[in-house]
Amino acid sequence: MTARLQRARPGSPELQALVDELAERLGRSVAVDDPLVRMVCTSRHFGDEDPVRIGTLLQGRADNAAIRYVLDQGVTQWSRAGFIDGRDDLGLLPRYVAPLRERGHLLGLLLVVVPEKSLTEHETRAIAQAADVMAAQMHAEHLATDTRKADERDLVLELVGADATARTTARQRGKELGLLGAAEHVQVTVVQLSRATELVRQSETALWGALEGFRQTRSAQGLVAVGTERATLLQLRDRPPGQDEVTAQSARILDALRTFLGPSVHPVIGVGGRHHGLDDAWMSYEQALVAARAARRLPTLKSVGDWELLGELAVLLQLPEHALNASLVPKPLRTLGDSHGGDRLRDTLRSFLEHAGSIPRTADTLGIHRTSLYYRLRQIQEITGLDLDNGAHRLTLHLGLRIEELLSPGGDGAV
């Protein structure tokens, strides 16, 4: 699997011919990018190439910083063509950018390298005429692509849905279409945006762009379903993925989304359990939703929740959103928090419970003498009225601490 997930597919011969014709007419380098600023097709050089253009040709995509810079100019919202400034630190010369739209939808960007940042009226007219023809060509090509994406989305949603009969029918249809192999292991990943952006289509395009590279890798065959705020990646594998592989995949998805959508969207990822057989894809999906909820509520997870690493949090996170509130925190723990030195005592309690009641390990972790630890534990018992030698009392306090984690500031978003 290539690490360059945003690598664009080559444009059609018809689109390539239009790009070459315009470039020859202008005597300038021309390229067409998709709405995520990933190269679709490009002309030959005319002595105006820059490091970004050369790097794109060699690597199959522009550097993330260059992509983000172009998107930050708001080009996906432009209603007419205009210039973007160059950036010496990025190795980017000025470009004239014409949005390629058809029926209001942005299909791509026509970019012309213009080092002097000046075009004649004849040149701008030629670019406008070419842009109209290119947009029509891309629209025709996208109709077939959108139909395929819709069919794939419907198949994925049926495979992970609650209806067992629909799941069986979907598995049969997927195998007949050659979309589902005979791999023995399945894993579902959910990618969730924090809110719908004003540009819904751009969000959908970004989600697809971040996931499409995982539809076919050396170790997995995948299917993708994309909505306005959520995308689902279903992967079939010959073997369960290792933790490093799962972590690396999630990191690359987040990196792509932050490049395509900027820092304001705050995506999270939920990774479902690894299951044997496609029959359990629905289970991995439900677990991925819980894991995504964990990623939203727990800043310590750094935007990625993995069902297999959640432990007891996986149970708590299946409570309804309206029920997951401060009323679930046990009264003894609230009393402890309100007491003098409550924060220090709560940290002591947490360390003691995390270390299964081991005095030596708890004292070492807190960096205090065992005598001091015993004193704090007696304080905790006196304030809470609970016995730390009692398993049920320990469980009450431990679950209370876990609930407090889920209610921490910045962790109250629903998925």
Burial profile 224-263: b = 16 or more Cβ within 10 angstroms, e = fewer: bbbbebbbbbbbbbeebbeeeebeebbebbbebbbbbbee
Parts of the chain belonging to CATH 3.30.450.40:
13-146
Spatial distance between the Cα atoms of 170 and 150, rounded to a whole number of angstroms: 14
Question: pLDDT 10s per residue in the chain (415 long)?
Answer: 223 333 334 678 999 999 999 999 999 999 999 999 999 999 999 999 999 999 988 887 888 999 999 999 999 999 999 999 999 999 999 999 999 998 888 999 999 999 999 999 999 999 999 999 999 999 988 887 888 889 999 999 999 999 999 999 998 898 888 778 777 899 999 999 975 545 566 888 899 999 999 998 888 899 999 988 899 999 999 898 999 999 999 999 999 999 998 877 889 999 999 998 889 999 999 999 999 999 999 999 999 999 999 988 998 898 888 888 888 899 999 999 899 998 999 999 999 999 999 999 999 999 999 999 999 999 999 999 999 999 999 999 999 999 998 887 554 444 4
Domain 323-406 coded CATH 1.10.10.2840: yes
Phi, psi of 60 (to 5 degrees): 90, -5
Spatial distance between the Cα atoms of 44 and 34, rounded to a whole number of angstroms: 19
Parts of the chain belonging to CATH 1.10.10.2840:
323-406
**CA 92, 96, 100 angle in degrees (round to 5)?**
115
Spatial distance between the Cα atoms of 345 and 64, rounded to a whole number of angstroms: 46
Whole-model pTM: value is: 0.79
What CATH class does 160-318 carry?
alpha beta
What CATH class does 13-146 carry?
alpha beta
Parts of the chain belonging to CATH 3.30.70.270:
160-318
- Could you list the beta-strand ranges (E) of 294-378: 304-306
Spatial distance between the Cα atoms of 362 and 54, rounded to a whole number of angstroms: 57
For residue 41, list its beta bridge partners: 32
What's the gap between Cα 403 and its chain centre? 26
State the pairing for strand pair 185-192/230-237.
antiparallel
What's the chain's Rg over C-alpha atoms?
Answer: 27
